[in-house]
Amino acid sequence: MFAALKTHAWAYPALEVVHIVGIALLLGNLVLLELRVFGRGAALPVKDLARLSLSLALCGFALAAASGLLVFATQPAELLSNRAFTLKMLLLMLAGCNAAWFHGRGSLTRLDALARAQMLASTLVWLAVVVCGRWIAYL
């Protein structure tokens, strides 16, 4: 299967498209929820919006993770020696820890200053993940 990704002219670019679509679903829905947490769209119930946006964000994460693992499998040695890739993986772990902390403390029901800080941190970390992902090709 990995050989097919390397030999078919369209396979690797198609995989990258799937990766980008997953990132767009993930980040777009997190930003939407963050806007609501910061008071925009106050007429929308937070729990209902969170149910929709977080389920779409999880679908986006699943697409990005699955396609990312396939991309990794095509060139593991090169990626493991790439500093941007290493930083991207560390940022992904940080994003996961922040999400676990956010949901573990019930931040969606509190919507306090810490919840807002966690949402802002989440978006910034995910944007840094995207930046590192682009830098992989240039380092």
User: What pTM was estimated for this model as a whole?
Assistant: 0.88
Q: What is the mean pLDDT of residues 36-53?
A: 91
Q: Which stretch of 6-20, 24-38, 123-137 has the lowest confidence by average pLDDT? A: 6-20
Mean pLDDT for the chain? 92
Sorting pLDDT into bands at 50, 70 and 90, what band is 7? confident
DSSP output for the chain? -HHHHHHSTTHHHHHHHHHHHHHHHHHHHHHHHHHHHTTTTTTS-HHHHHHHHHHHHHHHHHHHHHHHHHHHHHSHHHHHT-HHHHHHHHHHHHHHHHHHHHHHTTHHHH--HHHHHHHHHHHHHHHHHHHHHHHGGG-
What are 62-76's pLDDT values in tens digits?
A: 999 999 999 999 899
